Structure 1
């Protein structure tokens, strides 16, 4: 495991395994619905401020309000995820299916305010993967997220930012740029160039007028 994972978290993860309830078919339906509700709330604040907020307060104030609301919702969702984990353990693909597993993972991925929680979930997810759960992409993205927050380079390049030309680039950098595609493939992620070109195109379209003003009339893609 990565050096940033402390022994206390590992011990806590082992101790918690014996306290989890079995997820019955009846409780599974309730859990999946709860995870759906969590995802709906999470995605409500995943994009940009609504236009009515921008029109009412202006872009700068609107973003301040939106981010404060997003942080508040994030904490609420994290607490809901923690309760589910304490009850049933890590709800990965093998336990609740691919869609619900993504809904469980999202608030963890966004929990930058609670790094020990993210690290604990990374360990728990790793154990589910060892048991055959197909959560490798989630694992890779969470590991990268933790490392970026710790100002360390990423293994998979899933966390990105943009240069002055609008091209997607890895935040903090990569551990090994020569092996990044083989790692991404092993963890069910699309190849580096495809992913970064997709994100470059998306970023250009969202900010097209600004780029055109600067003389950039089309996204600059990796060849």
Structure 2
């Protein structure tokens, strides 16, 4: 590991993120849209990580160790209010994957998240949301027939296994579907326009 101090800092960002998520879950605040406190922390973490990336490039395992590299990816996944930062990280992560310095699974999650935020179908089916029946289901998937082949190629479980797992964890975290599905959908679209994901 080339940057132990930076590694420690990145892990700290992740721990703060998870601690807040845990608290909001206990308070029942995870099901009513994007919580303002969580949004503020995600932006704060992304800004710090952006400075780190300016200094050392993408935080690969080689540079910061496995735990911190995974932590950096989590911070990027959660930086949904910063489209430019997220897209920049996706291209840096793609380069790292091509050089066998990062995991294709993380790249699959990140590109899917960006696609969904842009209102496009995802490729690997990693992103889930509440559907009109109150179930967590994959967001629309491009060429759904072959999705499990693509998932397997990057080391992911089948879409069926993943759906079961996501729903199990949602029950564990006491997550409940939004009270008004259409209203939540509309609020999400307005938010995506506001932060610059869609025109």
User: For the structure 1 residues 50 and 209, does the alpha-carbon distance in structure 2 shift closer, same or farther, using more than 3 Å as the test?
Assistant: closer
Deviation at 1:196, TM superposition (A): 0.7
For the Cα contact (< 8 Å) 2:77–2:113, is it kept in 1?
A: yes
User: Whole-Å Cα distance in 2 between the matches of residues 155 and 91 of structure 1?
Assistant: 25
1:144 matched to 2:119? The reply is no
1:11-90 to 2 correspondence within 5 Å?
25=2, 28-47=3-22, 49=24, 51=26, 54=27, 67-90=35-58
- Among 183, 197, 203, the alignment partner of 2:170 is 203
Task: Extract unaligned runs of 5+ from structure 2.
Answer: 178-199
Runs of 4+ in 1 over 6 A off after TM superposition: none
Q: 2:25·2:173 contact (CA, 8 Å) conserved in 1?
A: no
CA distance in 1, matches of 2:124, 2:176: 31
Q: How far apart are residue 85 of structure 1 and its match?
A: 0.2
Query: Of 151, 154, 157, which aligns to 1:187?
Result: 154
CA contact (8 A) 2:93 2:102 kept: no
* Structure ID, larger Rg: 1
| Shift, 1:76, TM fit | 1.1
Question: Quick one: structure 1 residues 94 and 135, their matched pair in 2 at CA, closer, same or farther if it must change by over 3 Å?
Answer: farther
Structure 2 residue aligned with 1:219: none
- Is 2:67 the counterpart of 1:99? yes
TM-score (norm 1): 0.70
Shift of 1:153: 0.6
Shift of 1:88: 0.4
Question: 1:116 is paired with a residue of what secondary structure?
Answer: helix
User: Is the CA contact (8 Å cut-off) linking 2:79 and 2:86 kept in structure 1?
Assistant: yes
1:98 shift after superposition: 2.5
* Match of residue 197 from structure 2: none
Higher relative contact order (CA 8 A, sep 6+): 2
- Equivalent in the alignment of 1:161: 129
Post-superposition offset of 1:111: 1.1
* Pick aligned residue for 2:145 from 178, 194, 198: 178
2:181 aligns with none
| CA shift digits 1:155-186 (9 cap, x unpaired) | 01111023355543112x10011111111111
The Cα shift of 1:102 comes to 1.0
CA contact (8 A) 2:115 2:121 kept: yes
d(CA) in 1 for partners of 2:16 and 2:163?
27
Gaps of 5+ in 1: 1-23, 211-223
